[in-house]
Amino acid sequence: MTKLNLGCGQIRPEGWINADSSMNTMLQKLPLGKWIARSLGSVIFDTSNVVYMNLNKRWRHIPDTSVEVVYASHLFEHLEIESSKLFLAEAYRTLKPNGSIRLVMPDLYAHCKEYVASIDNGQIEASKLLLWAMNLYDKGPDDKHSVIHKVLGLFQGYPHRHKYMYDKLSLTKLFSDVGFRDIRLSEYGQSHYIKDILDVEGPHLYGGYANSIYIEALK
């Protein structure tokens, strides 16, 4: 079975092809890479079980109908609209018949409901909390990093802001337009189609991300 865990970050289970595109990920695969990353104040990864993959481009190294599972968590919202369409098209191309895709991302509807409730309750910083949750702040934790870290960030477009936000209706249409079928919403750590979902959504996430949408489908 070929299972893709795209934009894996620190979640790199055995038995999956874990892919990421960050310079920090690639740096730590090199000799002394972890020492350099630690000196720069970067996140240190426990494993080097990862390959490089730029999801703004076609997945040319992955043959047609060769993949059983395509999984990505809190990645899709960081793609420009054209890149997100390319992502779904490439997922459909590379999946085998009856192969499954599962995406996890912030739920625009859930965040907006929470915002409206906060406003109704008189919470003064409701708008600030909404913008933070959507990762739309002009300033963030990256501004506290060293000058070297900021310079490296320029090459990768850090800090990574959300390029678009989705809800169940917009996602369902995107999936359907590409050709996916049996589109279903799910919950953290539960899947209609992926038996090994706890590999990528296990205890390490402490119950999952708040106000997220879990959507999956079959080819």
Q: Do the Cβ atoms of 5 and 55 come closer than 8 Å?
A: no
Largest alpha-carbon pair distance within the chain? 54
Q: Give, for all 219 residues of the chain, the pLDDT tens digit.
A: 799 999 887 888 999 999 987 765 665 555 655 555 556 555 555 666 788 888 999 999 999 999 999 999 999 999 999 999 999 999 999 999 999 999 999 999 999 999 999 999 999 989 888 888 777 765 544 455 555 555 555 555 555 678 899 999 999 999 999 999 999 999 999 999 999 999 999 766 656 678 899 999 999
For residue 52, the cross-strand partners are 20
Domains of the chain are 3-107+161-218 (3.40.50.150)
Is the backbone of residue 51 left (phi > 0), alpha (psi -120 to 50) or beta?
A: beta
pTM above 0.75, yes or no: yes
Q: Do the Cβ atoms of 164 and 82 come closer than 8 Å?
A: no
Alpha-carbon distance of 127 to 136, in angstroms, equals 11
| Cα dihedral value 148, 22, 162, 174, nearest 10 | 170
Alpha-carbon distance of 103 to 137, in angstroms, equals 24
| Cα dihedral value 26, 29, 35, 38, nearest 10 | 40
